[in-house]
Structures are given as C-alpha cells and as structure tokens.
Amino acid sequence: MENYHLYGQKEEQMDWKDKTAVITGASSGIGRALALNLSGKGASLVLAARNQPALEALASGLPGGSSRVRCVKTDVSIEAECVSLIEEAARFSGDIDVLINNAGISMRALFGEVDLKVLHELMNVNFWGSVYCTRHALPFLLQAKGSVVGVSSVAGYKGLPGRSGYSASKFALQGFLETVRIEYSKQGLHVLIACPGFTASNIRLTARGRDGRPQQESPLDEHKLMSAEMVAERIVRAIEKRKRSMVLTTQGKLTVNLNKFFPGLVDRLVYRHMAKEPDSPFK
C-alpha cells in the first residue's frame, strides 16, 4: 500500500539495502533489536559495544549475513575508540548513512549519597559517547544527508528522583542534538531524539548503585514493559519518516505533555511513582 503525506504527496519508502548504519551499544537490549531489525531490511551494519563476544554472537545470527556486518569493540567514553569505530565503518562501507547513539547506562541512588564518580561515568557514556561518535561521523552523515539518532529517555524531559546522573546526561544529550539539528538544518542532516520510556532490557540490571557497582536486579516488572523489539521498530520507522522526536508509551507521553503545564503536579506524581519501587532509595 502506498503511503501519503498529510498534503497528498506520495511518501517515498526508504531502501535500506544501500544504507550503512552504525549502532553503539549493540550487544544487548534496544541496540541488539535495532541490529536485527535493520539487518532484516538489508542494511549493512557496523556494531559497537564493549562486549566483543556478544557482538560476534549477534552478528553470526543476523539474516543479512556476515559480509554485511562489522563488529568493533568500542568503549564510547573513550574518544580514540570512537574515532577508530568511525574509521572502521568508513573502510567497511565508504559511507555512513545512519548513526544510532544507543550506548548508555543508568543509576539508582540519592544524589546526596552517590559517589560522584557515578555521575562522571554516566556523563562520559551517555553524553560524551554520543558527542564523540557524532562529531567524527559528521562529515560522512552530511555527505549522505543521513540521520543521527540519540536514544534518550523521558528522563531527558523530566528529572527523575534517584536518577540524577541519568537525567542530567539525557538532558545534555537532547540539548546537544537539538543544537546540531539547527546548525545543519540547511545541509540535509536529519536528527532524531528517541525517548523509549521504560523498556524491557538489561539497563536496570547494570544500573549503578551509589557506590558505582551494578545493582544486578531490576526494580520493575520487566514483563510489563515495552519490548526492545517494539522500540526498535518504532525507532526505525521514525528514521524512515525523518521525524524530529519520538516519545513512546502512554505514561511517557503523559509525563512529557503534562509537565509543560503542571510541572509541580508532575513533580509529586513522579516522586510517588518512583517511591513505590522495591527497595526505593527514598520514601
């Protein structure tokens, strides 16, 4: 079935078979789901994560075949490794059409109790990792009139108690990407800020506690959350439609929209919601 824009113009379908996408944080969760989705559409992929064995295991099962995927062990908090990732992507394909900044970590602790090294780590991965990758991929993305995607969060619109470092990093990410969008708006660069909401993934298992160690358990019922596969499908669709932003889940949309008009009310609602988590750091 043909799709049409609001004003009756035919909407062109994106052909992924001649596209190359770089995905950070690709070894699990949303990143892994994005790799499976785009590989199924025929895209060439450059997959990045710190867990090389997990990347290799993922690549071996992709429907696109090993000739269309390259795995690069990358710690995005280190600029030199981000440079190597982009250089390897350019050697592999010659072009970079889509960069998905998905690598990220979370936290769960009161600000007054958390070791500040945790906030440094979150900023280095969630914010600076996206800055490094975007900066070094920018010439290729501009040449392709391609897309840069930041996987953010509702925490980038509303500060979440117990997640001070996480919210700070996502606010920073969104401000950075909005600026990049405006600066290169006349050069054909597409920038998408994607906010999935709570997603069934391992991000809460690896979330840092107040001492910086992973908490290794989720305070949420993962079975009730949106699946990583569904989130990946929505992100890919938003890239194809070159959307500016995307907020998923009814709860996420309600939080963002209600906060525009009744921020004090949302403060109280968010506090109550987060305080109900098992072993919440505040009551």
Where helices occur in 5-78 by DSSP H, the ranges are: 29-40, 52-60
Q: How far is CA 80 from its chain centroid?
A: 21
Structure tokens at 166: 């996480």
**pLDDT, mean of residues 197-207:** 65
| pLDDT reported for residue 283 | 65
Asked if residue 225 belongs to a domain, the reply is yes
Confidence of residue 278 (pLDDT cuts 50, 70, 90): confident
Dihedral of CA 213/269/174/85: which sign?
A: positive
State what percent of residues in the chain have pLDDT above 90.
Answer: 78
Q: What are phi and psi of 137, to 5 degrees?
A: -90, -10
Q: Greater confidence, 282 or 144?
A: 144
Among 6-10, 200-204, 208-212, whose mean pLDDT is lowest? 6-10
Distance CA 251, CA 253 (A): 6
Total of domains in the chain: 1
Structure tokens at 116: 């500040």
| pLDDT reported for residue 215 | 74
For residue 262, pLDDT beyond 70: yes
Full-model pTM: 0.91
Structure tokens at 230: 């569904």
Spell 52-80 as b/e; 16+ CB within 10 A means b.
Answer: eebbeebbeebebeeebbbbbbbbbbeee
Characterise 75 by phi-psi region: left (phi > 0), alpha (psi -120 to 50), beta (else): beta
Asked if residue 278 belongs to a domain, the reply is no
Residue 263 half-sphere exposure toward CB, CA atoms < 13 A: 5
Give me the residue label for tokens 């429907």: 63
Domain range holding 35?
Answer: 17-249
CATH number of the domain that residue 114 is part of:
3.40.50.720
Which residues participate in catalysis according to the annotation? 166
206 DSSP 8-state letter: S
Asked if residue 259 belongs to a domain, the reply is no
Asked if residue 160 belongs to a domain, the reply is yes
Angle among Cα 256, 262, 265 to the nearest 5 degrees reads: 95
For residue 2, pLDDT beyond 50: no
Helix, strand, coil percentages, rounded to 5, for the chain: 50, 15, 35
Asked if residue 5 belongs to a domain, the reply is no
**pLDDT, mean of residues 153-160:** 96
Asked if residue 133 belongs to a domain, the reply is yes
Spell 84-98 as b/e; 16+ CB within 10 A means b.
Answer: bbbebbbebbebbbb
**pLDDT, mean of residues 4-24:** 72
Asked if residue 266 belongs to a domain, the reply is no
Q: Where are any strands of DSSP class E within the chain?
A: 20-24, 44-49, 69-73, 98-101, 147-151, 190-195, 199-200, 226-227, 245-247
**pLDDT, mean of residues 53-75:** 91
Digit-coded pLDDT (tens) for 89-113 = 999 999 999 999 999 999 999 999 9
Distance CA 132, CA 138 (A): 10
| pLDDT reported for residue 1 | 39
Asked if residue 10 belongs to a domain, the reply is no
Residues near 280 by Cβ (< 8 Å), separated by ≥ 6?
162, 219, 274
Give me the residues paired with residue 69 across strands.
Answer: 45
For residue 80, pLDDT beyond 60: yes
